[in-house]
Structure 1
Amino acid sequence: MSSVVEAATMPLASPNVLFVMTDQQRFDTIHALGNGRIHTPNIDRLVARGVSFTNAYSTTPICIPARHTIRTGCDALTTGCFGNDKRDAAHLEDRCGPFLARRMGERGYRTFLVGKYHAHPRDIDLGYDTRLSAEAYRAGTGHEVKTTAREGAMIHLPQRNALPRESNYEAWTTDRAVELIEEEGEKPFFGLVSYEPPHPPFAPSPPFDRMYDPDRLSNPVEGDLAVDHMDEKIPAQNHHFWTTRENGIDHTTARVVKAHYYGMVSEVDRHIGRLLDAVEAREDADDTVICFFSDHGEMLGDHRGWEKTSFFESSCRVPFLVSWPAELPGGERCEELVSLTDLFGIATTAAGSPELRDGVNVLGMLRGDDDPRERLFGYHRTPRLPPNFTAMVREGDRKYVFMRNGGREQLFDLSADPNEVDECAGDHPEKTAELRSALVEKLTAEGQTAFVENGTLRHAPAQEIDMGRLVREPYPASPADALDGSE
């Protein structure tokens, strides 16, 4: 690979490092990277400021495991976290080493986290000097983060944020983050600013709830139903989130939902602009590394599915922008495979003492000093359900997906078929076998006997998965009970 950076000198002083994170944002929601329908002028500023990685993945595409990957630099085989089971995260430092914020503090940084962090227990020490999250928001405003929109059966229906946009959680998060960015001192800063949107409920504030005309937006991508729902978790999630197992949501409603989802992206984009303004007002703005990314994507009706946990691109591929004007050129694109595991190494390498763990040295790769990743592996398993382990191998333009439930396999050629509607494992048995063998070798080397045995991937008889319905608060036994004497 040719180097993106002409000169390979590292600065003498440690740069600031700012991570900006959204929740459930698809890779294809940035105007400057090809989505002409969406308005993201400030994320576009980040594109112009640095390098955009166009093949970036969340290797365990669901909330808690993805965030554990970011804070540890380790994938699910190391963290042991394959799904959203609410285990005590304190054990992760025993398995993986100190969290990223703790490591950056050891390197002489003042550290802060503002916004969502999604770890258990709520009072866990993640290593930050300052942490301002939902509890601080409630104490300062009296508002609840998630009471401005209905959940349960309405979580994917278009809604509206009832709070003024100047005082909702995202605005508060930005206000606090700007204060911390503007703070002067002898130490450089390492900060994580973590936004809740565009995670459902899909409830942007006015006027973002009416920015997009649904009739001007595209329908979801659909292939053959047998391929779209080969992973039984997709129809199971549809039922869980109150959509039909086979068809999810009709196209008209799906476009309305997309309009609100895009509105949430644009609303967060406005806040990101304020963060950028605060960075650019500093004298050391050019020596501030900014990484923008999301924990995973959102199916948004593609392949007749919603939410995440799938290894279709709309679920597992994420935005991933890295800028450092003092060291990296602006407006560049990079097609090499990167993932959330690499963020740990970006921060520690910028700080002058690289610690890669399960990641690759992205900054070294851009400077031509380190080799790019040849293969990328991903894993997911939903806890407390029948065997449903899924795994992905991405190599070049090919993506292989294995589903333990039924021993099913998929192969896609992302160059010829970027929408993944032409499953071609049967047409390319040699490539399928090659990537299957690579997965077996990886799992065997990591001692993952739950998933591989005697050189073979473990299969389970195909069965329908039942996740039940999403109900945040139980519905009353009788409709009249909901009135609670208020008639």
Structure 2
Amino acid sequence: MHIYVYFIYLIKNIFILQYILEDKEINVFHKKEGNMEMNKPNILHIFVDQQRFDTIGALNNPIIKTPNINRLVKTGVAFTNAYAPSPVCVAARCSMIHGQYPANTGCFENDLMPLDNRQTLMDVLTKGGYRTHGIGKCHFTPDALALKGFQTREVQEELGVESVENYPYMEYLQEKGYKHLCEPNGVRGEMYYIPQPSQLPPEDHPSQWIGDRTVDFIKENGDNNEPWYLFSSFIHPHPPFAPPNPWHKLYRPSQMPLPNIPDEFESLHTFVNKCQNRYKYRDNGFDKNLIRTMKAYYYACISFVDYQIGRILDELEKTGNKNNTMIIFTADHGEHLGDYRCVGKRSMHDSCARIPLIIKQPGKFDGGVICEEAASLVDLAPTILGAAELKMETHNMDGVDLYSLIKGDITRKYVFGQLNYNGMDFIDADADFENYVTNKECKRAAFSTYMAANSDWKYFYSAPDNREFLFNKKYDPKETRNVVSNPFYKEELKNIKSSLINHLKECGETFGIEGSDWKAHKLPPFTKDPDRGLLIQDGYTPWVDTYIPGYTDL
């Protein structure tokens, strides 16, 4: 009798265990050491800089070769209307790690991140028992070497440094004997938007180093009893577009498509577009062959990163971590790449503000699903912390857990964005305007661009131009016609504009608002001096000597 009861009990528990393991809502895995059961996944956060939303083969780009990102698309969830909260490096990353829009972080550009004690998602993960590590570009300000919640970092940044100390990639290059090398990520300044083969071979390229260190971390932590969060952050395809040999020949310029240049492209330009074209040496003529060469080299940079992602995914599988790891692939912002005859970022057009975002996690984010609901980088902190069953303690987050979004548990009308670019170098300011912008809030408002978007509509307002833009994304996915004055879209304009203004008011970001409308700031004219504002950015390796005897001193 006792044997019979025990047998029934055993069978019952086998069925319960089977149910738990098959339940797609639960991700249970066994660590090899100690046979420890945990329901907290590892989190691999793959981040790239300046990659457009439309540069993934499996998401309808027939030219680019991204077989490993395609693997994530085919097995995970791709959010095809994901946006940067600010289309520039520091502000986008700041919003991502705090889960807040710029109007709440106070970071609107490549400027200071919050200096108060608010937590980052890494703080919460570390406190919650995760092994946290950052590899590559974090772009933390004001301290580039700050941990901001990471337990450890291996730093690789895009500009030069004074010493190899605390910069392991620079130390690696020095040890390899690259005495001639001035700029490992490509020659900037006047060459910023001139495509160029890297001066480094593939095995020593910055993207390969990130791939190597990521693979090593997964090897070293494959059997850990504690879950880990790894931020693997590539500088490329950020310009200069400098893929290594022979990757620079993977795409040929004559086979690349022309940029998106609508008939009325100049009417779609904003102040920040003019500034970027100027300071990146691209406002004195438009060469379509140069643009196609840029695109070829830009695509090659992406494919070389994709190659690293393949190595990383393979290592996850080798170490038995494939099924217990949440994988996130995304970018900080996009790149115009000749669209509207513009280059650079900082624009609210889709080419800059819209980003790739793919999440893969067995039982939750899986099945090769396409999600067209609007998403944002501010959603990553609540999504990651939701997977880890942890909570932010110091502040409320603006984002949502994307798992709740794909399940349909929550809905929202729009995601938001703001950029503040200081354009004083590009205008002929009079004394009155100089006095006006001594108030930092007024200066921010005068140079800000504000955005609201979802899968159907995009609205943004450029304060320096005192102009509104509205795009019907269903009928005009390439954003070729501003329909803000179209009488048939009055209701849509009213709804999206009021939502954006209300968002800013709720955050206390009101210096650009007057009543229920935008405040006009009367910006002085754009300078006619063609050399004013040109970029000088020589970020050298610490060992380089630019002195040329007999020439430099003449």
Same fold (TM over 0.5): yes
Does the CA contact (< 8 Å) of 2:52 and 2:355 recur in 1?
yes
Q: Which residue of 1 aligns with 2:429?
A: none
Q: Which residue of 1 aligns with 2:132?
A: 111
Residue 259 of structure 1 aligns with an amino acid whose one-letter code is A
Residue 494 of structure 2 aligns with an amino acid whose one-letter code is A
Q: CA RMSD in A?
A: 2.2
Is 1:361 paired with 2:401?
A: yes
Q: Which residue of 2 aligns with 1:443?
A: 504
What is the Cα deviation at residue 317 of structure 1?
Answer: 0.5
Q: Given the alignment, which residue of 372, 379, 382 partners 2:411?
A: 372
Q: Given the alignment, which residue of 124, 127, 131 partners 2:149?
A: 127
Q: Which residue of 1 aligns with 2:311?
A: 274
Q: Give the Cα–Cα distance (whole angstroms) in 2 for the partners of residues 384 and 402 of structure 1.
A: 16
Deviations 1:350-384 (A, max 9, x none): 1023557110111122234x213321111111136
Is 1:205 paired with 2:205?
A: no
Would the alpha carbon gap of residues 256 and 353 (structure 1) be closer, same or farther in structure 2, given more than 3 Å must change? Answer: same
Would the alpha carbon gap of residues 358 and 152 (structure 1) be closer, same or farther in structure 2, given more than 3 Å must change? Answer: same
Q: Which residue of 1 aligns with 2:172?
A: 140
What is the Cα deviation at residue 90 of structure 1?
Answer: 5.6
Is 1:55 paired with 2:81?
A: yes
Q: Which moved more, 1:293-302 or 1:444-453?
A: 444-453
Does the CA contact (< 8 Å) of 1:228 and 1:304 recur in 2?
no
Does the CA contact (< 8 Å) of 1:61 and 1:310 recur in 2?
yes
Is 1:180 paired with 2:217?
A: yes
Q: Which residue of 1 aligns with 2:205?
A: 168
What is the Cα deviation at residue 207 of structure 1?
Answer: 1.3
Q: Which residue of 2 aligns with 1:349?
A: 386
Is 1:149 paired with 2:191?
A: no
What is the Cα deviation at residue 222 of structure 1?
Answer: 1.1
Would the alpha carbon gap of residues 430 and 292 (structure 1) be closer, same or farther in structure 2, given more than 3 Å must change? Answer: same
Aligned length: 468
Percent sequence identity over aligned pairs: 33
Q: Which residue of 2 aligns with 1:8?
A: 25
Residue 155 of structure 2 aligns with an amino acid whose one-letter code is S
Q: Give the Cα–Cα distance (whole angstroms) in 1 for the partners of residues 92 and 230 of structure 2.
A: 18
Is 1:429 paired with 2:490?
A: yes
Does the CA contact (< 8 Å) of 1:337 and 1:372 recur in 2?
no
Secondary structure, aligned partner of 2:373: strand
Q: Which residue of 2 aligns with 1:477?
A: none
Q: Give the Cα–Cα distance (whole angstroms) in 2 for the partners of residues 102 and 424 of structure 1.
A: 44
Residue 454 of structure 1 aligns with an amino acid whose one-letter code is G
Q: Which moved more, 1:72-81 or 1:370-379?
A: 370-379
Would the alpha carbon gap of residues 482 and 234 (structure 1) be closer, same or farther in structure 2, given more than 3 Å must change? Answer: farther
**Where in structure 2 are the equivalents of 1:331-346 lying within 5 Å?**
331-346=368-383
Secondary structure, aligned partner of 1:166: helix
Does the CA contact (< 8 Å) of 2:184 and 2:206 recur in 1?
no
Does the CA contact (< 8 Å) of 1:90 and 1:124 recur in 2?
no
Q: Which residue of 2 aligns with 1:33?
A: 59
What is the Cα deviation at residue 73 of structure 1?
Answer: 1.1
Would the alpha carbon gap of residues 418 and 482 (structure 1) be closer, same or farther in structure 2, given more than 3 Å must change? Answer: farther
Would the alpha carbon gap of residues 462 and 376 (structure 1) be closer, same or farther in structure 2, given more than 3 Å must change? Answer: same
Q: Which residue of 1 aligns with 2:521?
A: 460
Does the CA contact (< 8 Å) of 1:145 and 1:169 recur in 2?
no
**Where in structure 2 are the equivalents of 1:212-251 lying within 5 Å?**
212-223=251-262, 224-229=264-269, 231-244=270-283, 249-251=286-288
Deviations 1:242-293 (A, max 9, x none): 0116x5x311110011000001000111111111111112223212000000
Deviations 1:293-328 (A, max 9, x none): 000000001011111110100001000000002433
Does the CA contact (< 8 Å) of 1:212 and 1:260 recur in 2?
yes
Secondary structure, aligned partner of 2:416: strand
Q: Give the Cα–Cα distance (whole angstroms) in 1 for the partners of residues 320 and 363 of structure 2.
A: 12
Deviations 1:144-165 (A, max 9, x none): 7834522111111110101111
For structure 1, list consecutive stretches of 5 or more residues without a partner in the other structure. 475-480
Q: Give the Cα–Cα distance (whole angstroms) in 2 for the partners of residues 400 and 484 of structure 1.
A: 56
TM-score, with structure 2 as normaliser: 0.80
**Where in structure 2 are the equivalents of 1:83-102 lying within 5 Å?**
83-85=109-111, 87=112, 89=113, 91=115, 93-94=116-117, 97-102=118-123
Q: Given the alignment, which residue of 70, 78, 86 partners 1:44?
A: 70
Would the alpha carbon gap of residues 321 and 54 (structure 1) be closer, same or farther in structure 2, given more than 3 Å must change? Answer: same
Does the CA contact (< 8 Å) of 1:374 and 1:396 recur in 2?
no
User: Highest CA radius of gyration, 1 or 2?
Assistant: 2
Q: Give the Cα–Cα distance (whole angstroms) in 1 for the partners of residues 39 and 185 of structure 2.
A: 44
Does the CA contact (< 8 Å) of 2:453 and 2:459 recur in 1?
yes
